[in-house]
Amino acid sequence: MKKILVLFLLISLQAGAQSSALSIADSLYTVGNYVAAINEYAKEGNAQASLQIARAYNAIGNFDKALAQYDATLKSYPKMEIASFEFGKLLLKTKNYRPALEAFNALIAENQQNPEYFYYLGRTLENSLKQEEANAAFRKAVALDSTHLRSLYSLGKYFVGQEIRDSALVYVDQGLRFYENDVSMINLKAQAYFNNGQFQPAIPWFEKLIGLGEDRPFVLERLAHSYYRSYENEKAVETYRMLSVVPGYLADAYLGMGQAFMQDKQLDSAQVYIKKSIEERTETFEKEYADLGRIARLQNKTKESMEYYKMAWEENKENPYNYYQVCVLADEYYKDPKTRLPYFERLLDLYPDLPPFLKERVLKRVSEIKEEIHYAGN
């Protein structure tokens, strides 16, 4: 009886020592002393310690050792689900997509009720350029958990990118019903409307983003443009002024203000800001010159307008529309049809693949001018 009691005490003391060592390792891990924690965990030699070593290497950023440790842990403890899940996520993070797919498919085979497994399977398929399969996985996650925001976001983001507004809004609105102030979902809703050319409905969602502190340049620029396209010129100018204080956006802000002033028929102010935009830019000025051309035309300064459109075309000869404007203005400015005709003929020579509607218009005008020349000769 005494021998049994002594043996029990020895086992208890050994277990207590192991528990104490594991507690020390956990404490070191908790405060971020990962190397010391790894050394302590290595003394334990059990499943939990093995998993914690993998986690510590992952926390350090030594992903190769973390992957190797997860692999070793699973070879010793193949039924450890949490290790399999973490291993799969790290494989995805390190772009090891094929083994990550195997890991998540194996997890789903064992447990088909966990939406997280389907979400990460979707992420892996997405990165493997298998978008339709990825979307199916995301939908499965949402079917299991209708509030799974990351899956809803992934589906919404895909359809926004494809500019399929109605499908995007199905998933975005579902997410917003669960969390109405989710910045990512609000941003997607604003983009869904914006990309669809529905600038007025986009405005309150961009405004909400700013109200939530998301006054990033991208948001300000699109909100300002939405105001402009909705003929809310005063608000557009105000928002472009906010954008102008962001480093690197001054030229864009000036151009936006100029366009808003032009739309509001404040042509002098429009000229001032568009010229300021040109002064600030170090790249090309196609948009600015084209806008100055539009302003000059509204001011009935045909020759000046033509010169600005020529400058816009010189900035980007890939765009035939600016040269087409040169042709139209030359047609207005010059009385002699023999002077006007070469402009249109040159346009056809430069751009044999003009859009059909534009080509038809130009060919018709060429025919009319030639007829005008013929009758003038008689």
Complete DSSP assignment for 206-267: HHHHHHTT---HHHHHHHHHHHHHTT-HHHHHHHHHHHHTSTT-HHHHHHHHHHHHHHTT-H
Tell which wins on pLDDT, 23 or 271: 271
- Distance between CA 283 and CA 289 in Å, rounded? 13
Return the pLDDT at 332: 93
Q: What's the whole-number mean pLDDT along residues 313-325?
A: 92
Rounded (10°) angle between helices 34-42 and 47-60:
160
pLDDT over 50 at 227, yes or no: yes
pTM over 0.75: no
Return the pLDDT at 138: 98
Query: Would residue 336 be called left, alpha or beta, if left means φ above 0 and alpha means ψ between -120 and 50 degrees?
Result: beta
CA distances from 378 to 94, 112, 335, 341, 371 (A): 80, 87, 18, 18, 11
Return the pLDDT at 273: 93
- Distance between CA 291 and CA 207 in Å, rounded? 28
pLDDT tens by residue, 109-119: 999 999 999 99
Task: Go through the chain and tell me how many residues it has.
Answer: 378
Proportion of the chain above pLDDT 90, given as a percent: 82
CA distances from 219 to 161, 193, 207, 225 (A): 17, 13, 9, 10
- Distance between CA 16 and CA 222 in Å, rounded? 63
Query: Element (H or E) spanning 350, and its range?
Result: helix 337-350
Return the pLDDT at 193: 95
- Distance between CA 233 and CA 231 in Å, rounded? 5
pLDDT tens by residue, 10-59: 444 444 444 566 888 899 999 999 999 999 999 888 999 999 999 999 99
Which tokens belong to 129? 């350029």
Which tokens belong to 1? 């009886």
How confident is residue 5, by pLDDT bands cut at 50, 70 and 90? very low
Q: Coil, strand, or helix at residue 107? A: helix
Residue 353 identity:
D
pLDDT over 50 at 169, yes or no: yes
How confident is residue 282, by pLDDT bands cut at 50, 70 and 90? low
Q: Where do runs of H (alpha helix) occur along 94-214?
A: 97-110, 115-127, 131-144, 149-161, 165-178, 183-195, 199-211
Rounded (10°) angle between helices 302-315 and 286-298:
170
- The candidate with the shortest Cα–Cα distance to 173, out of 155, 157, 187, 185, is 185
What is the rounded average pLDDT for all residues in the chain?
91
pLDDT over 80 at 305, yes or no: yes
pLDDT tens by residue, 79-110: 999 999 999 999 999 999 999 999 999 999 99
Q: What's the whole-number mean pLDDT along residues 131-142?
A: 97
Proportion of the chain above pLDDT 70, given as a percent: 93
How confident is residue 281, by pLDDT bands cut at 50, 70 and 90? confident
How confident is residue 378, by pLDDT bands cut at 50, 70 and 90? low
